Amino acid sequence: MNNRVIPIQVNFYSISSDFKDIMLRLCESFIKKSQKAIILLKDLQELEDLDKFLWTRNKNSFIPLKSITDQILETDSIILANDNLNGLNVDKKFDTLIISPYKSIKTFKLFKKFLVFSYKKNNSVPKLYKDKLELKGFNVICYEEYEKFKWKVS
């Protein structure tokens, strides 16, 4: 029997595009692949702004999502949260936590994958944590947006 522990994946993204535009594309991709994610935002205002944007941005389609305050069903795949994840059985339902450039977290627990975004002006953030996290057994990759929605490993 294989008891090998799969390391937690932490991806840092240094972005120049608007975070909401990136979330639109990322959410579309998650839905197509039947993946589930929670998007952790700074505050209620950022949550409401992203919620409205994702529901109304494309005229011919929408991103089905819920807020953390809504009743979460097994079929829900994109959840917006601004603070408390308590009460969500995240380890069973959601693999990925996406973190807004305006939000910070203190620990990488409960999820298999973390996508951490920061704007290029804060470009030193990923490099500060990469070595420390790798020493603790995390699998860490840093990406830089070199052209709109195009990434390279940095």
Q: What are the boundaries of each domain within the chain?
A: 9-153
Say whether pLDDT at 69 is over 70.
Answer: yes
CA distance 132 to 121: 21
Question: Helix/strand/coil (H, E, C) string of 72-126?
Answer: CCCCCCEEEECCCCCCCCHHHHCCEEEECCCCCCCCCCCCCEEEEEEEHHHCHHH
Looking at mean pLDDT, say which of 17-31, 97-111, 124-138 comes out highest: 17-31
Q: Could you tell me which residue, 84 or 98, shows the higher pLDDT?
A: 98
What pLDDT was estimated at residue 142?
Answer: 92
Comparing 113 with 89, the larger pLDDT belongs to 113
pLDDT confidence of residue 115 = 96
This prediction has a pTM of 0.89
Quick: pLDDT tens for 38-62: 999 999 999 999 999 988 877 677 7
- The per-residue pLDDT of the chain, averaged, comes to 85
Superfamily of domain 9-153: DNA polymerase III subunit chi (3.40.50.10110)
**Residue 149 and residue 17 in contact, taking contact as beta carbons nearer than 8 Å:** yes
| Band of residue 122 on the pLDDT scale cut at 50, 70, 90 | low
* pLDDT band per the 50, 70, 90 thresholds, residue 2: low
pLDDT of residue 36: 92
For the ranges 14-18, 110-114, 119-123, 132-136, the lowest mean pLDDT is seen at 119-123
Among left, alpha and beta (phi > 0; psi -120 to 50; other), residue 70 is beta
Classified as helix, coil or strand, 37 is strand
Any idea which residue has 């932490």 for tokens?
Answer: 10
> What is the predicted pLDDT for the residue at 141?
93
The radius of gyration of the chain's CA atoms, rounded to the nearest angstrom, is: 16
